[in-house]
């Protein structure tokens, strides 16, 4: 009997334990550890922050979902990982494992810029449910006493889609409330150009996003280096200042502290280097999936930024890792898998939306090209994002990871999760 532990119960961790349970006989123990009792569909948090939907709509209670499928549930915070002894400390409890999969998602590096973040700073975030609720309350207060609105990201950020969504959805909301003409919107980004998304070479994305921002009268500052923030002003390194009444700025991500405290385990940001199988190169029993995995940027930009790790990429990583562990245990006879790292991002802009597709996320090292790289605009993107949100929650309620018909649909789009 083997004991497989998954740390994190988000878009990566929860489908991965379902896939492990599907592949492994019941005599293998699977444990899911999370410091949150609820699963949250993170891509919908921009809607929550702008009071367009309730947070409850995109949350599920995890414990009953996993327990009825023979998965052990442990609510708590991992404080230590010992990859040599293969032990995890969860507060006061020590757990021994045969395999561990780290799927924690990001820790927010809010200390990267002075004044950043809702707790100790003056800006809002939409990176977790707690922050989205705070942003929602601040948005209601802002509508009662409006002023300049600033949206974007700080240097080192890696996930820009939600910032684009927030800016465009805020514009739509203000127009609906007939307040848009009283409120200026500025989009500020460390990307070298709009639509770069941390990966570059995305065909028509620059022209498309630039055109949409201009059509909605949103001021844009590209290649912007935010150096510090006061309660009502954002300061750039070129001495430019941006006054604001409400600011939503995405922070940089880093790996969790229990990984960063182990010398030599991670890179300088706490991200895990992994082999194509998902294993750490020095510890074969340690796997990583999702945001916690190290992916180096395909190019050096004037202002440092990171590479996004989308939900689709994360699901592919989880599928590959579950498959490879089942192979290691001799429960299936097959070649080892690796994720394709093909990414599709559905960004809702209100009256329209943009589908960004990069297959794979990193261009070929020699040609600088991808098999697919495109941005498509249309109202159908907004509908598709809503439909996918409900489909994903349906999957989590019913204990599915990636069912056959979802894989078939991806194949119809010319995409795949694993290879």
Tell me the per-residue pLDDT of 129-165, one tens digit each, with 9 for 90 and over: 999 999 999 999 999 999 999 999 999 999 999 999 9
Model's pTM, two decimal places? 0.96
Which helix (DSSP H) or strand (DSSP E) does residue 211 occupy?
A: helix 205-215
pLDDT at residue 298 in the model: 87
Class of 110-250 per CATH? alpha beta
Report residue 13 as tokens: 């961790």
Q: How far apart are the first and last CA of the chain?
A: 28
Q: From CA 187, how far away is CA 189, in angstroms rounded?
A: 7
Q: From CA 341, how far away is CA 296, in angstroms rounded?
A: 13
> Which residues on adjacent β-strands are paired with residue 353?
348
Residue 156, sorted as left (phi over 0), alpha (psi -120 to 50) or beta, turns out to be left
User: Burial, 264: exposed, middle or buried (Cβ in 10 Å; 0-12, 13-18, 19+)?
Assistant: exposed
Active-site option among 227, 327, 345, 355:
345
Active-site option among 159, 227, 327, 355:
159
159 is catalytic: yes
pLDDT at residue 168 in the model: 97
Q: From CA 104, how far away is CA 258, in angstroms rounded?
A: 11
pLDDT at residue 419 in the model: 87
Q: Whole-number mean pLDDT of the chain?
A: 95
User: Burial, 212: exposed, middle or buried (Cβ in 10 Å; 0-12, 13-18, 19+)?
Assistant: buried
Provide φ and ψ at 276, rounded to 5°: -55, -25
Report residue 46 as tokens: 């921009």
Over residues 241-257, mean pLDDT:
97
Q: From CA 87, how far away is CA 89, in angstroms rounded?
A: 7
**What is the tens place of the pLDDT at every residue in 66-125?**
999 999 999 999 999 999 999 999 988 999 999 999 999 989 999 999 999 999 999 999
User: What residue spans define the domains of the chain?
Assistant: 110-250
Report residue 122 as tokens: 């003056």
DSSP 52: S
pLDDT at residue 343 in the model: 85
Q: Which residues contact 107 (CB under 8 A, 6 or more apart)?
A: 253, 254, 255, 256, 257, 270
């Amino acid at each position: 009997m083997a004991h497989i532990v998954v740390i994190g119960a988000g878009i990566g961790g929860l489908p991965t334990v379902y896939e492990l349970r599907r592949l492994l006989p019941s005599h293998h123990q699977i444990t899911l550890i999370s410091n949150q009792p609820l699963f949250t569909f993170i891509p919908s948090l921009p809607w929550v922050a702008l009071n367009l939907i309730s947070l409850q709509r995109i949350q599920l209670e995890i414990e009953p979902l996993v327990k009825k499928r023979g998965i052990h549930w442990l609510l708590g915070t991992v404080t230590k990982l010992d990859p040599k002894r293969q032990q995890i400390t969860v507060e006061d409890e020590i757990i021994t494992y045969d395999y561990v999969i780290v799927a924690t998602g990001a820790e927010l590096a809010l200390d990267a810029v002075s004044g950043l973040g809702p707790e100790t700073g003056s800006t809002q975030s939409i990176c977790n449910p707690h922050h989205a609720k705070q942003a929602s309350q601040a948005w209601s207060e802002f509508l009662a006493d409006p002023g300049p609105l600033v949206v974007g990201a700080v240097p080192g950020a890696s996930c820009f889609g939600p910032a684009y969504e927030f800016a465009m959805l805020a514009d739509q909301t203000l127009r609906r409330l007939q307040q848009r003409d009283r409120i200026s919107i500025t989009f500020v980004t460390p990307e070298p150009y709009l639509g770069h998304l941390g990966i570059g070479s995305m065909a028509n994305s620059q022209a498309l996003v630039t055109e949409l921002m201009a059509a909605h009268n949103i001021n844009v500052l590209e290649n912007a280096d935010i150096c510090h923030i006061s309660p009502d002003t954002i300061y750039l390194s070129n001495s430019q200042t941006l006054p604001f009444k409400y600011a939503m700025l995405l922070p940089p991500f880093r790996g969790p502290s229990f990984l960063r405290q182990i010398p030599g385990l991670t890179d300088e940001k706490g991200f895990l280097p992994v082999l194509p199988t998902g294993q750490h190169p020095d510890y074969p029993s340690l796997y990583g999936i999702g945001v916690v995995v190290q992916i180096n940027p395909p190019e050096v930009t004037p202002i440092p930024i990171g590479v996004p790790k989308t939900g689709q990429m994360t699901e592919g990583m989880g599928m590959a890792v579950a498959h490879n562990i089942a192979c290691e245990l001799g429960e299936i006879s097959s070649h080892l898998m690796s994720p394709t790292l093909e990414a599709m991002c559905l960004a809702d802009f209100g009256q329209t939306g943009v589908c960004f597709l990069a297959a794979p996320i990193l261009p070929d090292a020699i040609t600088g090209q991808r098999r697919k790289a495109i941005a498509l605009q249309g109202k159908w993107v907004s509908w598709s994002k809503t439909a996918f949100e409900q489909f994903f929650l349906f999957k989590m309620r019913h204990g599915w990871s990636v069912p056959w018909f979802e894989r078939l649909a991806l194949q119809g789009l010319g995409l795949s999760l694993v290879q």
